[in-house]
């Protein structure tokens, strides 16, 4: 008897899926993701005043902000990315992204599948944890 084939799933409730830490060695991001043949998509949360240390990854990325404001550093320039805006991060570009101190950020992320979602390369070669703005460090 042949094994039953699993029915393909076409609709994914990202906001109802279990959240996983994304790049925990460099970022505070938590979220859920779905991967297709060519694109990864996800719904990501960053707590206010927290984010990622400078890092890169071999796949390009787009973040569309649904809530709050991201502060991104790319090529030594700071960019504010408010609700309703999208930021493009080219492949292998060193960048850092944090949620501004005013409120938590929720964004929709898209990455190409040339590499996995959890593939972050620390800019300084150290994987010492996420970035915290002063006053937003975890309680000890």
SS3 for 26-67, per residue?
A: CCCCEEEEEECCCEEEEEEEECCCEECCCEECCCCEEEEEEE
Query: If DSSP codes are grouped into helix, strand and coil, which group holds residue 86?
Result: strand
Domains within the chain, CATH numbers bracketed? 25-116 (2.60.120.10)
> For residue range 82-116, what is the model confidence (pLDDT) as tens digits?
999 999 999 999 999 999 999 999 999 999 988 77
The predicted-structure confidence for 42-73, as pLDDT tens digits, reads as follows 999 999 999 999 999 999 999 999 999 999 99
Distances (CA, A) of 110 to 13, 35, 61, 103: 16, 10, 6, 22
Q: In whole angstroms, what is the distance from residue 33 CA to residue 63 CA?
A: 13
């Amino acid at each position: 008897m042949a094994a039953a084939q699993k029915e393909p799933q076409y609709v994914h409730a990202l906001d109802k899926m279990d959240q996983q830490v994304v790049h925990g060695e460099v970022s505070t991001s938590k979220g859920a993701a779905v991967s297709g043949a060519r694109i990864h998509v996800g719904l990501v949360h960053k707590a206010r005043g927290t984010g990622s240390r400078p890092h890169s990854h071999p796949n390009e990325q787009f973040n569309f902000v649904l809530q709050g404001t991201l502060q991104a550093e790319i090529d030594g320039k700071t960019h504010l990315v408010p609700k309703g805006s999208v930021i493009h991060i080219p492949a292998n570009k060193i960048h850092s992204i944090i949620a501004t101190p005013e409120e938590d950020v929720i964004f929709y992320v898209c990455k190409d599948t040339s590499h996995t979602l959890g593939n972050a390369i620390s800019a300084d070669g150290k994987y010492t944890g996420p970035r915290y703005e002063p006053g937003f460090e975890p309680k000890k």
